Amino acid sequence: MCRPALSGLPKDRHVKVSPKTPSLFLVTILLILGAAMVAQAAAPNLMAAFFVKGKVGLKWSSIEGVTEYLVYRQEKGGDFQKIGTTGEDRYFDTEVSAGSTYIYKVAIVEGGSEVFSGVKSVTIPGDVGGFKAPTWVGIRMDQDKLFLNWDAVPGAMAYNIWRSETSGSGYENIGNAQGSRFVDKAGLVKGDTYYYVLTAMNSEFDETPYSEERSHKYGMSLEEQELAESGPKIELTPYPLTFKFDITDALDGEGMNQPGDVFVNSQGLIYVTDVLNATVHCFDSAGKYKFSIGQKIEGSPSNLPNGGFIAPFTLFIDGKDQVYVSDIKRNDIQVFNSEGKFLRRIQVDTGPEMNPLRANGLHVLDDGSLVMTDTGNHRFLVTTADGRITMSKGEKGVETGQFIFPDELTVTPDGRVFIVGPITCRIQEFKLDGTFVNTFGSVGESAGHFGRPKGITTDETGLIWVSDGMSHMLQGFTLEGEVKSALSTADDDWQFTTPRGVFFKDGQLFVVQRLANKVAVFDVGP
């Protein structure tokens, strides 16, 4: 190994260096390394950069003795530019543009030179590559919580939920979700109105602008309740019921698992969809189990065996006692005879760029035509007996004639169609040709209002009855929308539990209590 000669010394002389006396060369090297170590130790540590409330916040570790920090920012394709100085260990950049990505670093001046931190990047929420803000489905109150739903955004990895008590400003992030729903239950005050916006993030952590604002009032304050109680009362007509029996057990004595709908045929046989057990059960008029239709199957909705179910939901029985069953995961309707023999399968082509059929509501007319809600596409349909669409009405929205996930429906003998809006808490009336007629009901906790309307039917006197899974009530309305009766109120000796499917037949009332896993049967009258 070659060694460099020391300057100023003869080449043939050896220099003896004492261990206690460092050479000039060694001292120089130590001084250089020491200076580098000091400079490295003195560099700021940029710990965080984040976007909040319309500005980028930077945070770094403070260095003892340093009284000034220099903040630099680089925009895409450009050089770092100094944007400010501060004596604090934080800085807020307010001059930012939606959709832009910025890179930051912080410096101190040491020995006449700038010593830099590492870098952090931030993408400002904005329209990045066609990545759009979420679109609301709706907000509803249920069991002292607010449930937020929106449409999934293609490419979204997660969603941020923002809440304010003031419309248009002051939004605070209250959580995030990977799916298109969120439950807000923290710090809510009865009677207050809350305002929400949403953002979506993709896998690159690009974040959209805020969605449109959506608000919801959280129940009634004590003052409002007292005022309502002191105001004029709605005169409700008594509707006496006498409890007969509950239907709870099915095949081999096993209980049902979240039943959905109930219907009674001309012979008094009771049919119930057992949704999570993926079957339809038949009981005699005394509620004794007779047989089950179908069994649970798996596979693609386009290639499933006839007669099986994934999630049977809504029932209808026609004048020939044929049993029509909609399956919300098979996206079809299957027809059986009264003994449970499979007859045919009805498939509905919902159209290009539409979601598959989800018929939450179903009615069969005398000529075999079908009237159904097309829940996932926010409309209702009339089809031929084989499923060809002859009328389509509705689009997503909250205006009259529009829907947000319409649920069950009923059709009166004179062709009036009444459709449940569980998100908008209203009932809309149409003609069979799709002409809008009327709407009634709104969000509320008293008679004439809804918390979560689900099932709908008519009784033998012509009243329309609507079940409410949130208020646990069953309310009767005239065809014009005037509330006449309310069942399962605090004044009643018995209470419904999350009622859904409801049906009247031969002076009896049948009510599905979904989360109680039973059907309650009552006699109507004194």
Residue ranges, CATH 2.60.40.10, the chain: 42-123, 136-222
Which has the minimum average pLDDT: 36-45, 249-258, 344-353, 509-518?
36-45
Query: 386-435: per-residue pLDDT in tens?
Result: 999 999 999 988 889 999 899 999 999 999 999 999 988 999 999 999 99
Give CA–CA dist 370/405, Å, rounded: 19
- Beta strand extents in 31-144 (DSSP E only): 46-52, 55-60, 69-75, 81-86, 90-93, 101-110, 113-116, 120-123, 136-142
* Gyration radius of the chain over CA positions: 35
Q: Quick one: CA torsion of 432, 434, 437, 443, rounded to 10 degrees?
A: 110
Comparing CA positions, the residue from 414, 423, 427 lying closest to residue 456 is: 427
Query: 138-181: per-residue pLDDT in tens?
Result: 887 776 788 898 988 888 888 999 999 988 888 999 999 988 99
- The reported pLDDT for the residue numbered 5 is 38
The reply to whether the predicted model has a pTM over 0.75 is no
Q: How confident is the model at residue 442 (pLDDT cuts 50, 70, 90)?
A: confident
The CATH class of the 241-524 domain is mainly beta
Give CA–CA dist 104/352, Å, rounded: 47
Both tokens assigned to 501? 């499917």
Q: What are the strands of the beta sheet with 172-177, ordered from one edge?
A: 172-177, 158-164, 193-201, 214-217
**Averaged pLDDT, 498-523:** 94
Three-state secondary-structure class, residue 1: coil
Four-residue CA torsion sign, 42, 48, 52, 56: positive
- The reported pLDDT for the residue numbered 125 is 65
Contact predicate 83/72, CB 8 Å: yes
Domain 136-222 has CATH 3.40.50.280: no
Domain 42-123 has CATH 1.10.10.410: no
Query: 60-90: per-residue pLDDT in tens?
Result: 988 988 999 999 999 877 899 999 999 999 9
Give CA–CA dist 517/223, Å, rounded: 37
Three-state secondary-structure class, residue 288: coil
- The reported pLDDT for the residue numbered 490 is 60
Four-residue CA torsion sign, 75, 78, 82, 88: positive
Residue ranges, CATH 2.120.10.30, the chain: 241-524
Strand partners, 344: 335
Contact predicate 500/465, CB 8 Å: no
Which has the minimum average pLDDT: 124-133, 205-214, 344-353?
124-133
